[in-house]
A and B are shown apart, each in its own frame.
Chain A
Amino acid sequence: MLTINNLHVEVQDNEVLKSVNLEIPDGEVHALFGPNGSGKSVLIMTIMGYPEYKVTEGSILIDNKDILELDINERVKLGVGLSEQRPPTIKGVKLKNLLELIEHKDKKGQLYVNDMIEKFNIRKFLDRNINDGLSGGEIKQSELFLLLISNPKLLILDEPDSGVDPEKLKKIGGMINESLRDKRFEKRLPSNHLNRNSGLIATHSAAILDYIHVDKAHVMINGEIKCYGNANILMDQIKENGYEYCINCQHKNNM
Chain B
Amino acid sequence: MKNVSEKLVWDKIESFNNEDNIEIDFEDYSFSKLKIGIKDDSISTKEINEIDMDTLASVGVNINEDSDSGKYLLFGEKNYVAKPQFAGVEILPIKEALETYPEIMEKYFFKAMETNKNRYTKAVSETVPKGYFIRVKKNVKIKEPLHAGLFMHEEMSAMSLHNIVVLEEGAHLHLITGCTANHTLKGGLHVVVSEQYVGKNAKFINTMIHNWGPEFIVRPSTATVVEKNGFFVNNYYSIKPPRNIKMDPFTHLKGENATAKYMSILFCLPDTHSNIGGTVLMTGENSAAELVARAVNYGGTIVQTGLLIGAAKNTRAHVDCSGLMLSDSGIIEAIPGLRAMHPDARMSHEAAIGKIDTGEVNYLQSKGLDEMQAIALIIRGFLDIGIEGLSPEMEKTIKEIAELSGHGEE
Task: Check A97 against B370 for contact (C-beta < 8 Å).
Answer: no
- Separation of A87 and B366 alpha carbons in the complex (Å): 11
- Separation of A5 and B365 alpha carbons in the complex (Å): 25
From A51, A88, A97, A150, give the contact of B363 (CB < 8 A).
A88
- Separation of A50 and B370 alpha carbons in the complex (Å): 14
- Separation of A71 and B366 alpha carbons in the complex (Å): 9
**A-side contacts of B369, CB under 8 Å:** 73, 98, 101-102
Interface size on A, residues (CB 8 A): 24
Cβ < 8 Å to A, chain B residues 361-390: 362-371, 373, 377-378, 380-384
Task: Check B373 against A101 for contact (C-beta < 8 Å).
Answer: yes
Total residue contacts A-B, CB cutoff 8 A: 65
Task: Check A97 against B381 for contact (C-beta < 8 Å).
Answer: yes
**Closest Cβ neighbor of B378 among chain A residues:** A93
Residue A92 is within 8 A (CB to CB) of chain B in the complex: yes
Task: Check A73 against B368 for contact (C-beta < 8 Å).
Answer: yes
Residue B359 is within 8 A (CB to CB) of chain A in the complex: yes
Best-buried of A50, A73, A84, A87 by chain B (most CB within 10 Å): A73
**Chain B: minimal CB distance from A45 (Å):** 9
Task: Check A72 against B360 for contact (C-beta < 8 Å).
Answer: no
From B359, B368, B370, B384, give the contact of A92 (CB < 8 A).
B384
Given A88-B360, A90-B360, check contact A72 B377 (CB 8 Å).
Answer: no
**Chain A: minimal CB distance from B368 (Å):** 5
Residue B357 is within 8 A (CB to CB) of chain A in the complex: yes
Task: Check B381 against A82 for contact (C-beta < 8 Å).
Answer: no
Given A76-B365, A88-B359, A90-B364, check contact A71 B371 (CB 8 Å).
Answer: yes
**A-side contacts of B363, CB under 8 Å:** 84, 87-88, 90
Task: Check A92 against B382 for contact (C-beta < 8 Å).
Answer: yes
Given A98-B367, A102-B368, A150-B367, check contact A50 B362 (CB 8 Å).
Answer: yes
**B-side contacts of A88, CB under 8 Å:** 357, 359-360, 363
**B-side contacts of A102, CB under 8 Å:** 367-369
Task: Check B371 against A73 for contact (C-beta < 8 Å).
Answer: yes
**Chain B: minimal CB distance from A88 (Å):** 5
Task: Check A150 against B368 for contact (C-beta < 8 Å).
Answer: yes
Residue A107 is within 8 A (CB to CB) of chain B in the complex: no
- Separation of A73 and B377 alpha carbons in the complex (Å): 15
Cβ < 8 Å to A, chain B residues 330-378: 357-360, 362-371, 373, 377-378
Task: Check B377 against A93 for contact (C-beta < 8 Å).
Answer: yes
Residue A3 is within 8 A (CB to CB) of chain B in the complex: no
Task: Check B368 against A51 for contact (C-beta < 8 Å).
Answer: no
**Closest Cβ neighbor of A150 among chain B residues:** B368
**B-side contacts of A129, CB under 8 Å:** 381
Task: Check B368 against A76 for contact (C-beta < 8 Å).
Answer: yes
**Chain B: minimal CB distance from A82 (Å):** 6
- Separation of A161 and B383 alpha carbons in the complex (Å): 35
Task: Check B362 against A51 for contact (C-beta < 8 Å).
Answer: yes
Task: Check A97 against B366 for contact (C-beta < 8 Å).
Answer: no
Task: Check A97 against B367 for contact (C-beta < 8 Å).
Answer: no
**B-side contacts of A9, CB under 8 Å:** none
Residue A91 is within 8 A (CB to CB) of chain B in the complex: yes
Task: Check A92 against B365 for contact (C-beta < 8 Å).
Answer: no
Given A88-B357, A90-B360, A101-B373, check contact A72 B378 (CB 8 Å).
Answer: no
**Closest Cβ neighbor of A156 among chain B residues:** B366
Best-buried of A88, A101, A150 by chain B (most CB within 10 Å): A101
Task: Check A101 against B377 for contact (C-beta < 8 Å).
Answer: yes
Task: Check A98 against B362 for contact (C-beta < 8 Å).
Answer: no
**B-side contacts of A76, CB under 8 Å:** 365-368
Best-buried of B359, B362, B383 by chain A (most CB within 10 Å): B362
- Separation of A134 and B168 alpha carbons in the complex (Å): 46
**B-side contacts of A48, CB under 8 Å:** 366
- Separation of A179 and B396 alpha carbons in the complex (Å): 35
**A-side contacts of B368, CB under 8 Å:** 73, 76, 102, 150
**B-side contacts of A92, CB under 8 Å:** 378, 380-384
**A-side contacts of B371, CB under 8 Å:** 71, 73
Residue A146 is within 8 A (CB to CB) of chain B in the complex: yes
**Chain A: minimal CB distance from B170 (Å):** 34
Task: Check B365 against A73 for contact (C-beta < 8 Å).
Answer: yes
**A-side contacts of B384, CB under 8 Å:** 92
Cβ < 8 Å to A, chain B residues 244-278: none
Task: Check B357 against A93 for contact (C-beta < 8 Å).
Answer: no
Task: Check A72 against B373 for contact (C-beta < 8 Å).
Answer: no
Task: Check A146 against B367 for contact (C-beta < 8 Å).
Answer: yes
Best-buried of A51, A84, A90 by chain B (most CB within 10 Å): A90
**A-side contacts of B378, CB under 8 Å:** 90, 92-93
- Mask for A59-102, Cβ within 8 A of B = 1, else 0? 00000000000011100100000101001101111100110011
Kindly list the 7 A-B residue pairs having the minimum CB-CB distance in the complex, ordered from nearest. Answer: A92-B381, A93-B381, A72-B365, A73-B365, A102-B368, A76-B368, A72-B366
In the assembled complex, 8 residue pairs joining A and B whose CB atoms fall closer than 8 Å, in A order, are A49-B366, A50-B362, A72-B365, A84-B363, A93-B380, A98-B364, A150-B367, A150-B368
- 17 more CB-based (< 8 A) A-B contacts, given A48-B366, A91-B381: A71-B371, A72-B365, A73-B366, A73-B369, A82-B366, A84-B366, A87-B363, A88-B360, A90-B360, A90-B381, A93-B378, A93-B380, A94-B381, A97-B377, A97-B380, A102-B368, A146-B367
